[in-house]
Amino acid sequence: MSKNNSSRSNIRRSSKKKKQRIILAILIPFFIIVLVGMAYFAKLLATTENAIEASYHEVKRTTPIADVDPITEPVSFLILGVDNDQDDSRSLGSTRADSIIYATVNPITRKMNMVSIPRDTYVPIMQDNQIVKYDRINSAYALGEESTMIETVESWLDVPIHYYATFNFDAFLEIIDALGGIEMDVPITFSEQDSSGKLGTIHLEEGLQTLNGEEALALARTRKIDNDVERGHRQQLVIQAIMKKALSVGSIPQYTDIVETVGANMRTNMRIGDMTALAKTGLNSKFEMKSHVFEWSSFTERGMDLIKIDPTSFANIQLALQNSLDPSLSDDSAYTDDDNPEETTSSDSSDQDTKSPDLEAAD
């Protein structure tokens, strides 16, 4: 009897040790994963803080703007893409802006509105609350960099700009490569130069495909396949594709590379707290992205090829942007079904001599 009890006791001890080994076999990898994850995110946080600190660049504001909380209040952004042809380390010095996008994010309606401003749009250039000249809107950057560009866009659209981000085009190229490419629908087969200016090195076939950084940059910047307004719309689609890929779970391992790339190629007035708040907004809900496209016509003035925005199109899109920043309004009311901002495009007008009110003021 004693022998049987001893045998059962040994079996219980053996079974208990086996269970302990199983538990340890499960817990040890789990804790390793947790520790590695903590180390990774600690590194990511340190990298992020360093990158944001390096990219922070305050701008002079002629008219102060109220602080906003991106988690609970609508916010607006001016996104500028500039050519990397300057001598400064970030290649963000006094050149003309090649890409100008105004965007709003409304955490209440969970909508993001974007509009590309054609770089040849003829507007009054504002500086220190005064019109200093009438010119293409992209010339504002050459005159006073972000400060003058912000004041000009705010005055023209009659909207606030809470934050800005200026990128050179190396940033888009390197971010897309770090993400492993983005999916884009190429509208037509074409060939284009690469970022170094080597002709004919990029060739894209029509259709849905994954593009690397060089290919996506060529699609965003080419002027061979349509017009300047559609080019701006393509740039919006590239930005949306980058955001979609960056927010996917599979992109998490690339975040450190992405942050380092952005920090080396960006200037912004956003602090770490602003970005953290915005990230929380994006993580808490899915946003509907709405792209707007101006209707326009082209004309020539003083030897310059310029763009005039259609007054009705301008008023509709301006209203949509203003409504998207008002917590008490829904931006759904900004358009009728006939306006269809996402689909509206325009070809060159034959009325080359038509002058906008801005031109008449300039004369």
List, for residues 254-298, the tens digit of each pLDDT value: 666 777 777 777 888 988 788 777 777 765 667 888 889 999 999
pLDDT of residue 346: 33
The greatest distance separating any two alpha carbons of the chain, rounded to the nearest whole angstrom, comes to 115
Would the pLDDT of 139 be above 50?
yes
Distance CA(7)–CA(65), nearest Å, equals 81
Which residues, including other chains, have CB under 8 Å from residue 127's CB and lie 6 or more apart? 143, 144, 147, 148, 151
* Lowest-pLDDT range of 29-38, 129-138, 141-150, 285-294: 29-38
Distance CA(221)–CA(234), nearest Å, equals 8
pLDDT of residue 356: 38
- The answer to whether domain 56-362 has CATH 1.10.150.20 is no
Strand partners, 133: 125
- What's the mean pLDDT in 178-186? 91
Containing 104, the helix (H) or strand (E) segment is: strand 97-106
Distance from first CA to last CA of the chain, Å, rounded?
Answer: 115
Distance CA(258)–CA(215), nearest Å, equals 18
Which residues, including other chains, have CB under 8 Å from residue 272's CB and lie 6 or more apart? 48, 49, 52, 53
CA torsion sign, 162 to 327 to 238 to 297? negative
Q: Strand, coil or helix: what is 208?
A: strand
Distance CA(56)–CA(126), nearest Å, equals 24
Radius of gyration of the chain (CA): 26
pLDDT of residue 363: 39
pLDDT of residue 42: 59
pLDDT of residue 87: 41
Instruction: Indicate the Cα dihedral angle 322, 328, 330, 336, nearest 10°.
Output: -60
Joined together, the tokens standing for residue 293 give 């496209």
Do the beta carbons of residue 278 and residue 75 sit within 8 Å? yes
Joined together, the tokens standing for residue 219 give 């699609």
| Highest averaged pLDDT of the listed ranges 76-85, 161-170, 323-332 | 161-170
* Lowest-pLDDT range of 9-18, 60-69, 96-105, 113-122: 9-18
CA 143, chain centre distance (Å): 23
Q: Which residue has the tokens 């038509």?
A: 354
Do the beta carbons of residue 179 and residue 155 sit within 8 Å? no
Q: Strand, coil or helix: what is 274?
A: helix
Distance CA(210)–CA(189), nearest Å, equals 15
Asked whether the whole model's pTM tops 0.75, one would answer: no
- What's the mean pLDDT in 54-65? 87
In eight-state DSSP terms, residue 121 is B
- Single out the residue of 252, 245, 226, 225 nearest to residue 184, CA to CA: 245
Domain locations in the chain as residue ranges: 56-362
The β-bridge relationship of strands 266-268 and 182-186 is unpaired
- What's the mean pLDDT in 32-53? 60
